[in-house]
Amino acid sequence: MANAVPDPSTVTIGLRTAAHVGISVADLDRSVAFYQVLTGVEPVVRDETMHGAGFARSQGLASTRLRYATFRLSNLGIDLIQFLEPAGQPAELAANRPGSMHLCFEVDDLSAVYDRMRNAGLDFLGPPYTFTAQEVSPPEAAGTEVAYFNDPDGTNLELIAPKGGFARPG
């Protein structure tokens, strides 16, 4: 059930810092290996568990038992979560499906990272793409390069070498 959307002219919550992204996975060990290759870091937490009625209720479930691992990147954590109880069905993920999300990794040299990933045997949804001023606004974002791929469970992932309006202030 979707939340009602409050009127932003009357309500401001003010969340400004992301802590982590949680990704449900079918096989924790397989996903840990994938994200370890992808990020080049070891998980700070691996094969830990969570369970209990209160925890389950906080997630809208009757009961739950799960295994998880956590990666810490320089700006974000990635929690990989395998629900053992209740085990879920795979989601139908695609970029155009409402509710789908993607996790984007910023890179300096997209071509070099793309080539390294392909050489490691990772597949992409299509070739890298560079935005032109005619198809993106603001036009200053032209030159931004992107490439899209999936993790072993189909989670949408992106590489970006941002320019102009897509670049992080800093």
CATH topology of domain 20-85: 2,3-Dihydroxybiphenyl 1,2-Dioxygenase; domain 1 (3.10.180)
CB 110 within 8 A of CB 147: yes
117 vs 168, which has greater pLDDT?
Answer: 117
Q: Alpha-carbon distance 112 to 152, whole Å?
A: 22
Q: 102-166, superfamily in CATH? A: 2,3-Dihydroxybiphenyl 1,2-Dioxygenase, domain 1 (3.10.180.10)
Q: Alpha-carbon distance 164 to 167, whole Å?
A: 5
Express each pLDDT in 118-133 by its tens digit.
999 999 999 999 999 8
What is the share, in percent, of the chain residues with pLDDT greater than 70?
Answer: 97
pTM assigned to the model = 0.87
Express each pLDDT in 22-71 by its tens digit.
999 999 999 999 999 999 999 999 988 888 888 878 888 888 889 999 99
CATH 3.10.180.10-classified regions of the chain: 20-85, 102-166
pLDDT mean across residues, the chain:
89
How buried is residue 146: exposed, middle or buried, by Cβ count under 10 Å (0-12/13-18/19+)? Answer: middle
